Amino acid sequence: MAIKVIRVAEGKFSTLSHLYLNDIFQCYLLEDKIRKEKIAGKTCIPEGEYQLKLNTTGGMNLRYKKNYPDIHKGMIEICGIPNFSLVYFHVGNYIDNTNGCLLAGHYWTMVDGDYIVLQSGLAYRLVYPQLLAALEKKNNKLIIENKIQRS
């Protein structure tokens, strides 16, 4: 299964992406702005190939176990980002919720020049089991590509 994040649009401080599994659109993603050098909590993940793993430690994991007891097995972490760790797929609506991570959204809108994703919990609940299944099958490669059309 191919797991891809395709970035499609930029706001003032935000980036809107699509998540694809096996070339099928799953949900929108919200990230921080694209910058040449990653700055903690202010910049999206650089383009490239990364590994996904299940992280079963930490406070965020405990919170998600409580909020999603029927599906949660651990946080899906994006590994191999130079000088960064604990970068996850998770819920949230606004750029301030990202902390450099990927936020799942069922749909999106733009407010004051920045993207927000909506119904994040629903999107997370739909995509998390699929990502978990991919990890269980040892399919843990994530490809991130910028395909933003600029005028």
For 74-108, how does the pLDDT look when each residue is reduced to its tens digit (9 = 90+)? Answer: 999 999 988 888 899 999 999 999 888 999 999 99
Predicted confidence (pLDDT) per residue in 100-137, tens digit:
899 999 999 999 999 999 999 999 999 999 999 999 98
* 27 is a domain residue: yes
* 135 is a domain residue: yes
Amino acid in the structure at residue 3: I
* 41 is a domain residue: yes
* 151 is a domain residue: no
Tell me how crowded residue 9 is: count the other CB atoms within 10 A of its CB: 16
- Which residue segment(s) compose the domain that 22 sits in? 3-146
Alpha helix segments (H runs only) across 35-119: 59-67
Q: Domain count of the chain?
A: 1
What is the DSSP secondary-structure string of the chain?
A: --EEEEEEEE-SSEEEEEEEETTEEEEEEEEEB--SS--TTTBPPPSEEEEEEEE--SHHHHHHHHHSTTT-SSEEEEE--TT----BEE--SSGGGTTTSEEEESEEEEETTEEEEE-HHHHHHHHHHHHHHHHHTT--EEEEEE-----
User: Which tokens hold the place of 36?
Assistant: 């040449």
* 7 is a domain residue: yes
* 141 is a domain residue: yes
Q: What is the pTM of this model?
A: 0.93
Q: Give the pLDDT confidence score for residue 35 in this predicted structure.
A: 80
